[in-house]
Structure 1
Amino acid sequence: MNPEPSVETLRPLYTAAQVRELDRRTIAAGIESFALMQRAASSAWHSFRARWPQAKSVSVICGSGNNGGDGHVLAALAQQAGLKVQRISSRELESLANDAARAAELASAAGVGCERFQAGMTLTGEVIVDALLGTGLSRPVEGEARTLIDAINRAGKPVLSLDVPSGIAADTGAVQGAAVNADCTVTFIGDKIGLHTGDAPGYSGEIDFRPLGVKAQAFFDIVPTAWRLEESWLVSAFTPRPRAGHKGHFGHVLVMGGAPGFGGAALLASQAAARLGAGKVSLATAAEHVSASLTRCPEIMARSVAGGADAAAFAQIGDVIVVGPGMGEGAWGQAVLQAALKTEAPLVVDADALNLLAARWPTLTRDNWVLTPHPGEAARLLECSVAEVQADRPAAARALQRARGGVVVLKGAGTLVAGPGGLVVCPFGNPGMASGGMGDVLSGMLGTLVAQFDDLELATRLGVMVHALAGDAAAKAHGERGLLASDLASYARILINP
């Protein structure tokens, strides 16, 4: 038997403050701080060499703190390996202190020259190492630091960032005014949550986590702020079905949506639910969409809903209800959502249903629902701006889960799942999935998995991951451009049959 998927099997993610505390305790346990800096630089150098083995020159941009210290030591290692090194400092070396000063002296002793940065100077290396700002950034980048970041990005060279791309907030993934666009980010001791969500996935490139010998989870009182979903969960979760199983064992999913003139979203959700293995799928939709459903997928039991009485009757048949796709916010949609809310069945609430919740049920809570907002819908539910949501996505997801209960899926780059068991980040997915209908497919997938797993939170985490991985598989097969929501179901089916 494979072990039940649990967060303890996932990579833990930390805030910058937590990693600083891990660093402090490691030093207190007997490892000198400069030795830890040397480990970090050595790990970064190995990462550099693995990615650019033919590079004969490098520009290393060093800030004034410990991140810059890592850069100075890496410059010395590059010099010793025979590369031509351009070392650029954002400060006069004489003004540096503590380990950063020691690192700068080490590089100088190794024969590495150093230039004080000046606007307009040319970055001559084949590869640029960004060791400018690190994780301590707490305000928008301005002045010389911003000029340096702009120079790195304009150079058009591959970039390796140390710990986080300069300008990215390590706790939120938000760009602080400007940020380095890295091809790879080597991050140390504890992986940072901000590298995996918000703006950061567009700036971090490949993330190479190097623990430097620090066993973060051995410090039991430093609880990870989140966990990163891993594909290995699929094998543990999707075990072979029992030979004597029948359709009644695998859940009856009811999709409620598709107001007159808006049938596509509900059809997408229904078909995705069927492809993810529901025993039965019913669709409660406007009469004009029934024939299209039968043509598209005759396995789905489509029923016409004229108003509140029909909706109330149909809402009783599902083990799980997916409500919202194409539902509209008019009288028809309000009647359908009200019928769903009166049931005791688990709900997956998406799209127009979320906007109606914000407008008409602003204080309603429920333990057995999954809310799946994109940033705009999350902002309406939280009564704030989209910019505020995106400025700190982890905080927004947690706040919404506390306010509304159940499990919350905050969609977007680095989708977040917040539930009673904590926060997880989905690192999968691609820009090709930024197209209409993707959220509807996700809601259908979630409905089926909620019907098949006793654990609402586990089902949601799995559904988010399967959806994203299916998008990646489809993009790998045929490219990101032109990727349609309806493409995902067939790839998802393969993933859940490992």
Structure 2
Amino acid sequence: MRIDGRLAKMVIRPRPRVSHKGSFGKVLLIGGSYPYNGAIILSALASVHAGAGLVTVATEKDNISALHSQLPEAMAFDVYDFSLLKQQIELADVLLIGPGLGESVLAGKILDLVLTGVQVHQSLIIDGSALNLLAQENSVHWQTQRLVLTPHQKEWERLSGLPISEQNEDNTQEALRCFPDQTVLVAKSHASKIYQGHQIGYLDVGGPYQATGGMGDTLAGMIAAFVAQFPTDFFASVAAATYLHSAIADELAQEAYVVLPSAISKAIPKWMKKLSEAPEMDEVFL
């Protein structure tokens, strides 16, 4: 199936008048270890701008001031306070782990806390270095069906065992059988695809102007916000966020040689407004 503005418009609906911040999901973002501190800040910027109702960030204590200087709307706490981390895992609707997490022993322990603490009703997004840590796990007892994996080709090679040259559609679908049935795979490349079971979504947006650090962190944050707000169709919510991420970049690239991830985040609310209100798709930039 083609993933485009029509799908995004189906997902992004006007907000009901009778609602509050809890109506739009509680998102917990986990990552940002030295020297990758900025990654989780970019994810948080994307989640807040994409409309998540409550965003909490678990990161290194020294990173919290930098986060709040750019995003006072987010809450934050020390990721190494494991007692508090366990509490926050229980409270979240959506968990995102990985942006800037690193691959230390402590990072592995944090991933284990998430994998054992996630509940059946929660959505779990695994990104960045958490994908590499996951590849090192002997086995995982998945406690939620609502799993999103967001690897680039090398990360998918480590996780699936498929060399990049063998990452075709049939092999990728077969490798996904090792994960919960509802798992959504965002296979990032110059021609990204989105998989869920036998369903494959194709994108024709995006370009080389997105090849810069932090782009994947921003996408992961957007996916977290969309899954939190629009939980009914899991695949469609992930696909709409992925489409919007690159569609915004396409527009910004008309006047920019390189598109910064933070610039994408700033543009998200305007795009969501247009998509939620336009009666016909020719009124929406595509």
The TM-score, its normalising length taken from structure 2, stands at: 0.88
| Alignment correspondent of 2:266 | 490
Contact 1:400 1:408 (C-alpha < 8 Å) held by counterparts: no
Sort the Cα spacing of 1:281 and 1:362 in 2 relative to 1 into closer, same or farther, 3 A: same
C-alpha distance in structure 1 between counterparts of 2:89 and 2:147, whole Å = 15
- Displacement of 1:236 in angstroms is 2.6
| Alignment correspondent of 2:281 | none
| Alignment correspondent of 1:410 | 187
**Structure with max Cα Rg:** 1
C-alpha distance in structure 1 between counterparts of 2:6 and 2:226, whole Å = 17
What percent identity do the matched residue pairs reach?
31
Sort the Cα spacing of 1:363 and 1:319 in 2 relative to 1 into closer, same or farther, 3 A: closer
Where does 1:78-89 land on structure 2 (aligned, <5 Å)? none
C-alpha distance in structure 1 between counterparts of 2:52 and 2:82, whole Å = 26
Where does 1:92-491 land on structure 2 (aligned, <5 Å)? 227-341=1-115, 342-344=117-119, 345-362=122-139, 365=142, 366-389=144-167, 392=168, 394-405=169-180, 406-420=183-197, 422-453=199-230, 454-476=232-254, 478-479=255-256, 481-491=257-267
Equivalent AA in structure 2 for residue 466 of structure 1: L
1:367-423 residue CA offsets vs partner (Å, 9 max, x unmatched): 21100010001000111322322xx2x234323322223111100122111113611
1:250-288 residue CA offsets vs partner (Å, 9 max, x unmatched): 001110111233211001001100000011100000101
Equivalent AA in structure 2 for residue 284 of structure 1: A
Unaligned stretches of 5+ in structure 2?
275-286
C-alpha distance in structure 1 between counterparts of 2:173 and 2:198, whole Å = 11
DSSP-derived class of the 1:408 partner: strand
Equivalent AA in structure 2 for residue 484 of structure 1: L
Unaligned stretches of 5+ in structure 1?
1-226
C-alpha distance in structure 1 between counterparts of 2:10 and 2:146, whole Å = 24
C-alpha distance in structure 2 between counterparts of 1:270 and 1:402, whole Å = 31
Sort the Cα spacing of 1:319 and 1:361 in 2 relative to 1 into closer, same or farther, 3 A: farther
DSSP-derived class of the 1:367 partner: coil
Equivalent AA in structure 2 for residue 419 of structure 1: Q
Following TM superposition, the consecutive aligned residue runs of length 4 or more in structure 1 with deviations greater than 4 angstroms are 361-366
Equivalent AA in structure 2 for residue 306 of structure 1: Y
C-alpha distance in structure 2 between counterparts of 1:304 and 1:440, whole Å = 20
Sort the Cα spacing of 1:363 and 1:245 in 2 relative to 1 into closer, same or farther, 3 A: closer
Equivalent AA in structure 1 for residue 153 of structure 2: P
C-alpha distance in structure 1 between counterparts of 2:68 and 2:78, whole Å = 12
C-alpha distance in structure 2 between counterparts of 1:407 and 1:271, whole Å = 23
C-alpha distance in structure 1 between counterparts of 2:186 and 2:48, whole Å = 21
What RMSD, in angstroms, separates the aligned Cα atoms of the two structures?
Answer: 1.6
Contact 2:11 2:237 (C-alpha < 8 Å) held by counterparts: no
C-alpha distance in structure 2 between counterparts of 1:327 and 1:361, whole Å = 20
C-alpha distance in structure 2 between counterparts of 1:364 and 1:427, whole Å = 35
- Displacement of 1:326 in angstroms is 0.3
C-alpha distance in structure 2 between counterparts of 1:255 and 1:442, whole Å = 13
Equivalent AA in structure 1 for residue 97 of structure 2: V
Contact 1:308 1:332 (C-alpha < 8 Å) held by counterparts: no
DSSP-derived class of the 1:327 partner: coil
Count of residue pairs the alignment pairs up: 267
Q: Compare relative contact order (CA 8 Å, sep 6+) and give the higher one, 1 or 2.
A: 2
C-alpha distance in structure 2 between counterparts of 1:465 and 1:308, whole Å = 35
